Each structure stands twice: as C-alpha cells, then as structure tokens.
Structure 1
Amino acid sequence: MNQQVQLHLALILFLPWFAILGSLFWFYPRQPRTRARRVFDVTSLVVAVVAFVIAMRIGYVIAEPTGTAGNIWRQVVATAGGYAAFLGVMTVAWFLRRRWLRRLLPN
C-alpha cells in the first residue's frame, strides 16, 4: 500500500462519520444562526479535523508493530488517538457554544 495512503487511512475511513457529526454540530440548535455562530462552528470543525490529523500522525509514528499484529497496530493507534482528539475538540466546542448561546438568548 502507498505510504501516504497508509498514513492517512484513518482520516479517509472516518471522513463520512466526521461529516455526519459535523453536520449535526452545524445544524443543531437551529437558532440563533448569526455570523458569529457560523464563524464559531466553522472554526470548531476545522480545529477538530486538524487535531485529528495531528493525533493520527503522532499515533502512527509512535506505535510499534507488535507480534502478530504487525503494521495494523499503527492504524489502530492512529485511529483511536485521532478519533479521541476529534471528539474531545467537538465536545469542548459544544459546551462552549451552549454556554455562549444561553447568555445570548433571553429566557
């Protein structure tokens, strides 16, 4: 397998799932849909994908092929670390946005 494809395999396989999670983050809650909210959402999604790529690359590099698992272990570590980074950033962004919208909207 091509080295670049092997390095980015986790990203390639997770892109559909990230599209679903990103869409849910983007569309809910539906209101208010201000310019500041759109900027925050786009920034959050970009930071989450960048965090995924960084964590994925670090995981791929530091993982040592072990025993019978071989190189697949690198993919497992890269995927797990990258997914954790993506979800971590999105969780923090969700709580920050929720807190921000509570202050913005009257009760």
Structure 2
Amino acid sequence: MSPLVEANLALILFLPWLAVLGALFWLFPRRPRTVARRRFDAVALALALAAFVAANGWALGYADRAYGRLWPQILATSVAYGVFLLVLAVAVFVRRRWLRGRDGGARR
C-alpha cells in the first residue's frame, strides 16, 4: 500500500460518514440562518476536519506495531473519529448558547 494512502486511510474510509455528520451539523437547527451562523458552522467543520487529520497522524505515530500491522490503523481511526465528534459536540453547545444569547433567551 502506498505510504500516502496508508497514512490517510482513516480519512479516506470515513469521509462519507464525516460528510453526513457535517451536513447534519450544518442543516440543524434550520433557523436562524445568518451570515455569522454560516461562518461559525464553516469554521467549526474546518476545525473538526483539521482535528481529525491531526489526531490521525498522532495516533499512527503513537501506535505500537508490536500488536500487528493493522493496529495503528485501528487506533488512528478510533482516536480521530472521537476527536472529530468531540469538536462537533463542543461546537453544537457553543452555537446553542450563542444563538440563545442573540435572541434574548426567548427560544428554549
């Protein structure tokens, strides 16, 4: 396997699922859909993807190959996916708090 493909295998295999999660994050809640909200969502998704790639690289380098050739990929995929979800979860709570603050707490 090509070293470039091997290093990015988790991203290649998870990209469709990350796209689904990213689309759900982008689409919900439907309102308010302001320019600032779209900008916030785009930055959050870019940060989540960057964190995925960084965690993937870290885990590939950290994994002990004594457990087998596949172990680094398993660890990298698990860690990177968890980091992606963590960044999106934090963004959901920050966005919710920010949106509540903008409309005076009228929406609950």
Q: TM-score range by the shorter chain?
A: over 0.9
1:105 shift after superposition:
2.3
Paired position in structure 2 for 1:88: 86
How far apart, in 2, do the equivalents of 1:96 and 1:85 lie? Answer: 16
Paired position in structure 2 for 1:26: 26
**Aligned ranges 1:25-64 → 2 under 5 Å:** 25-64=25-64
Provide the secondary structure at the position in 2 that maps to 1:30: coil
Q: TM-score, normalised by structure 1?
A: 0.94
1:66 shift after superposition:
2.4
> Over aligned residues, Cα RMSD in angstroms?
0.9
Paired position in structure 2 for 1:101: 99
How far apart, in 1, do the equivalents of 2:53 and 2:64 lie? Answer: 19
Provide the identity percentage.
50
Provide the secondary structure at the position in 2 that maps to 1:60: helix
Structure 1 stretches of 4+ with a deviation exceeding 6 A read none
Structure 1, unmatched stretches of 5+, are none
Paired position in structure 2 for 1:11: 11
Provide the secondary structure at the position in 2 that maps to 1:78: helix
Q: TM-score, normalised by structure 2?
A: 0.94
1:84 shift after superposition:
1.1
Structure 2, unmatched stretches of 5+, are none
How far apart, in 2, do the equivalents of 1:48 and 1:100 lie? Answer: 19
